[in-house]
Amino acid sequence: MVPKNYKRTKHTCYYTYLAMSSVFSLPPILFLTFREMYGISYTLLGTLVLVNFCTQLAIDLVFSFFTKYFNIKKTIRVMPLLTAAGLLIYALVPAIWPQHAYTGLLIGTVVFSVAAGLCEVLLSPLVAALPSDNPDRDMSMLHSLYAYGVVTVVIVSTIYLNIFGTENWLYLTLFWAALPILSSVLYCISPIPDMDMTQGQAENSRGNRRNMGFVLCVACIFFGSAAENAMTNWISSYMENIIQIPKAAGDVLGMALFAVLLGLGRTLYAKYGKNISNVLLAGMIGAVVCYLVAGLSPYGAVSMIACVFAGFCTSMLWPGTLIFMEEKFPALGVAAYALMAAGGDLGGSVAPQLLGAVTDMVSESSWAAELGSTLSLSAEQVGMKTGMLSAAFFPILGTVVLFILRKYFANRKKIEA
């Protein structure tokens, strides 16, 4: 039998991650437009973000426990079409029935969030299952393309909205909806390898000690995702509020530059990286420093550099934990990747919510106004800086988990020797 050529499959996975980035980065760019055009409150707009992450988390958990009931190959091929369908609903319902705009945005969010959850659960094990001379490089490259996709979406969308006006956001959304359709076509003509649909060695381990290692990996990806997504969701607002630059500049200098460094860190590891344990530890410690500088520095330029450089520090925390897990627990199944994705999504939903809650609570306090007058800051600026300091809690705990994880595997190596 002639061996299958999986090169096109791998490139399709790369393109899919690139095309899927619009699901995460386009809605925040349009939130202000929705508020102005349809009168949707900030609370309801924030609920869309929560629905996005909760839907992804639900998909992660479903695949963790019911993987055997799914036809994985068919699911992979349908997944991009769900992305396109969700974005179409997101765009068309508010345009055709503006009185039901929020309902359309909510339904569209649920649909493309299902696709996003499937993407996180299935693409990493699919790439891991492809024959490769350097699987770590392939995994890092896969996740780097998501970051470059965010950069592309932010820059293209910002330019479009500034040239054609926010009232024409519909056509921009339809453009991003068309891109995933090509992924579905490519998957249909590309070979997809068989993948283990069980927990693999994460379940069939030698007692609780081995299972504890997997639990620590889930905790690590939780704190790593929290460190990344707290900044991802708030960096543009931080730029506008603390440094007081226009929204378009905040999106480009904030979110886009953060994503550039996020992708750069993953690309560099794909080309030169080794010893993922040290890379993860350096990333966690670096993220702690970035959050502390952003929260404490009185200089806007220094705070901006810290926020952007957090993209580089957190770049390998999600994919790096997957690489670490694959090294320590070979032959894992799809369900194990789903549990890891659940940990990452939970961190990505909890951290931004905590940062926002701390910012609101502090901004409304009397001491924030008093401290702000001393530092020549508004109460809201004091609140946002305090929120950044609170977010440092996640990479600090992530650093502790990594030290425990390293010690655990060092001890296990001695026992197995």
Helix axis angle, 379-391 relative to 393-416, nearest 10°? 0
In the chain, which residues fall in CATH 1.20.1250.20?
A: 1-195, 196-417
CA of 298: how far to CAs of 45, 64, 244, 284, 350, in Å? 31, 45, 14, 23, 27
Spatial contact of 24 and 150, defined as CB atoms under 8 Å apart: yes
Distance CA 252, CA 29 (A): 11
Spatial contact of 168 and 37, defined as CB atoms under 8 Å apart: no
φ, ψ of residue 69 in degrees (nearest 5): -90, 0
Helix axis angle, 101-129 relative to 72-96, nearest 10°? 160
In 165-238, which residue ranges form alpha helices assigned H by DSSP? 169-188, 208-238
* For residues 332-350, average pLDDT: 81
Pick from 211-215, 224-228, 338-342, 405-409 the range whose average pLDDT is largest.
224-228
Candidates 402, 410, 408; CA nearest to 209 is 408
Candidates 27, 45, 156; CA nearest to 86 is 27
Distance CA 247, CA 252 (A): 9
Sign for the CA dihedral angle at 302, 305, 311, 317 comes to negative
Q: What is the pLDDT of residues 275-323, one digit of tens each?
A: 889 999 999 999 999 999 999 998 888 998 999 999 999 999 988 998 8
Q: What is the pLDDT of residues 58-85, one digit of tens each?
A: 888 887 777 777 788 888 999 999 999 9
CATH superfamily ID and name for 196-417: MFS general substrate transporter like domains (1.20.1250.20)
Q: Give every CB contact of residue 401 below 8 A, 6+ residues apart in sequence.
A: 216, 219, 220, 223
Q: Give every CB contact of residue 251 below 8 A, 6+ residues apart in sequence.
A: 29, 154, 158, 236
Model pTM above 0.85: no
Dump the DSSP string for 351-366. Answer: HHHHHHHHHHHHHTSH
Q: Considering only 160-174, 289-303, 327-341, which range has the smallest mean pLDDT?
A: 327-341
Distance CA 395, CA 224 (A): 7
Cα Dmax for the chain:
76
Distance CA 259, CA 262 (A): 5
When pLDDT is cut at 50, 70 and 90, the band that residue 116 belongs to is confident
Spatial contact of 237 and 384, defined as CB atoms under 8 Å apart: yes
**CATH code for the structural domain at 1-195:** 1.20.1250.20
Helix axis angle, 101-129 relative to 7-38, nearest 10°? 160
High-pLDDT (> 70) share of the chain, %: 92
Amino acid identity of 198? T
| 381 vs 246 pLDDT, higher one | 381
Q: Provide the token pair at 370.
A: 């008093």
